[in-house]
Amino acid sequence: MSATPERGGGCEIAVLASRVGADEKRLFDAFDRRKVRFEHVDTRGAWFVAGQGGLPWGVALNREIGQVRAAYAAHSLAAAGVDVVNSAGATEVCGDKWRTTLALEAAGIATPRTALGLTPQAALTALDSTIGYPALIKPLVGSWGRLVVELRDRAAAQGVLEYVGALSGPQSHLGYVQELIDKPGRDIRVVVVGGQVLGAIYRTGESLRTNVALGGQVHPCEVTAEIEKLSLDAAAAVGAEIAGVDLIEDGEGRLLVLEVNHRVEFTGFQSALGDRVDVADHIVGFLRDRARR
């Protein structure tokens, strides 16, 4: 592999990221505070040779924002003997909403009623026969709630799916449709690191999407035994050792898992919990212990 490290050579830990945002800066600061040496590897300049070994890192933290680059980097590093967090398998499962749903269902974890139509017409049939209305249609790959559309009735679904059918690319024609949960104006984000729940927050907003990146507000949430177990089970189901688990409460107060994020963004989480938890410090401590194995 060729890359231009931004820290000193001979480091045991690599941080893969093509975009250095607030979370990455927090991580870099935590490495420095703990005096743990690391290299920031910008994946835009990274390349791999098949069969190559002897890379300088024992552990790599995969913070690459591009789903395809993240998965291929994880596979390539693992083939070269590097312990990648999260693994290529977890990255691929979490990066695809349908594969996440299948993994959660296989583990017996409660999720909203969901279906995948292999064509737009099949998705419409699934809505009519199984999911019902109102519902949501979501892109298989994507974050921050982008391109999530509410389908209030069949007419709305027909219009959206007609547009879906006109998109280019076979994956775009798949219809991931999900029941719309009548949530109490909020959802719950839980951060899991190394089998430990660090905390939970409520995310609230005036629209369907409560993502912090879209202006959602954050408030502390008590970590109940149910929240802890559900979050740990969800992270384990997708194989993610560092995860952001998104939960939603239905009209009866039952908790459901919406999705699991393999590249968890935690600035909003950190601002809500303040000094109660230092997410970056926990992640760096986890990686340091992995590198010492």
Per residue in 121-148, pLDDT tens?
Answer: 999 999 999 999 999 999 998 776 778 9
CATH number at residue 290: 3.40.50.20
* Residue 106 is assigned to a structural domain of this protein: no
Domain check: are 77 and 17 in the same one?
A: yes
Residue 146 belongs to a domain: yes
Q: Please indicate, yes or no, if residue 93 is contained in any of the structural domains.
A: no
pLDDT 10s digits, 59-92: 999 999 999 999 999 999 999 999 999 999 999 9
Residue 103 lies in a domain: no
Q: What is the CATH number of the domain that holds 118?
A: 3.30.1490.20
Q: Look up the domain containing 204 and give its range.
A: 186-277
pLDDT band at 206 (very low <50, low <70, confident <90, very high): low
8 A C-beta contact, residue 192 and residue 235: yes
Mean pLDDT over 38-48 rounds to 96
Which pLDDT score, from 0 to 100, does residue 11 have? 67
Is there a domain that residue 22 lies in? yes
Are 172 and 144 in a shared domain?
A: yes
The total domain count for the chain is 3
97 within a domain of the structure (yes/no): no
Whether residue 75 sits in one domain with residue 7: yes
Based on the domain organization, do 199 and 272 belong to the same domain? yes
Q: Which carries the bigger pLDDT value, residue 280 or residue 6?
A: 280
Residue range 218-226: average pLDDT?
Answer: 97
Q: Is the same domain home to 172 and 235? A: no
Residue 214 lies in a domain: yes
Q: Is the pTM of this model over 0.75?
A: yes
Question: Parallel, antiparallel, or unpaired: how do β-strands 135-138 and 217-221 relate?
Answer: unpaired
Out of 157, 179, 201, pick the residue that ends a domain.
Answer: 179
Average pLDDT of the residues in 104-133: 97
3-state secondary structure 190-250: EEEECCEEEEEEEEECCCCCCCHHHCCEEEEECCCHHHHHHHHHHHHHHCCCEEEEEEEEC
Average confidence score pLDDT of the chain: 92
